Chain A
Amino acid sequence: EPEVTQTPSHQVTQMGQEVILRCVPISNHLYFYWYRQILGQKVEFLVSFYNNEISEKSEIFDDQFSVERPDGSNFTLKIRSTKLEDSAMYFCASTEQGRNTEAFFGQGTRLTVV
């Protein structure tokens, strides 16, 4: 069964450092997403990406965040200068279509900012 893969599974970084979280969406999917889950809280939408541009972003997705699809397979989330409150589980997801369709999630990257 096709799956979304994320690397690394766990990332520890110093406050103020840049991190890049990587995702390989399902190959025939066209829509890509990042969500995050702070420990004990809801899974929250960060950003959606289609046709090489951001289609929607949440209030959380400020100037410290960026996304990129550098090649035909990877989809990355960059946090430029990490803060303690960025510590969370980050999930990548992809969908074949853009509306009202099943989203496939990766296993997540646990980001710990110290």
Chain B
Amino acid sequence: GENVEQHPSTLSVQEGDSAVIKCTYSDSASNYFPWYKQELGKGPQLIIDIRSNVGEKKDQRIAVTLNKTAKHFSLHITETQPEDSAVYFCAATGAAGNKLTFGGGTRVLVKP
């Protein structure tokens, strides 16, 4: 089945700097790669996703890149703000496309 690895596990950045989180996946048939943000006491919330027919997608300060050949995808947050502090998870759906395999999560701390 699918296996997703995520790095780093923790990331501390100064407010205004950029944050980058990287994930690799194992199943070359995976076609859908969402990113979730989880705040304390809440469930994961989708912040951006990308499908395999696209190499990059951007939504305001958030962007995701996908390299299908290398089987890795990354989340980029620019101009970080304190409210960006949370745990971020990458995921992939695998060949069947009907369930999510998550990375281990990255705890991001934005220091004011």
Contacts and interface: CB of A to CB of B under 8 A. Distances in A.
Interface of A: 4, 6, 31, 33, 35, 41-45, 48, 55-56, 91, 98-108
Contacts of B41: 107
Interface of B: 31-32, 34, 36, 41-46, 49, 51, 89, 93, 96-105
Given A100-B31, A103-B34, A43 B44 contact: yes
A100 B44 contact: no
A102 B98 contact: no
A42 B104 contact: yes
B100 A103 contact: yes
B93 to A, nearest CB: 6
Pick from A6, A33, A100 the residue with the most CB of B within 10 Å: A100
B46 A103 contact: yes
A42 B99 contact: no
A4 B43 contact: yes
B43 A108 contact: yes
A106 B43 contact: yes
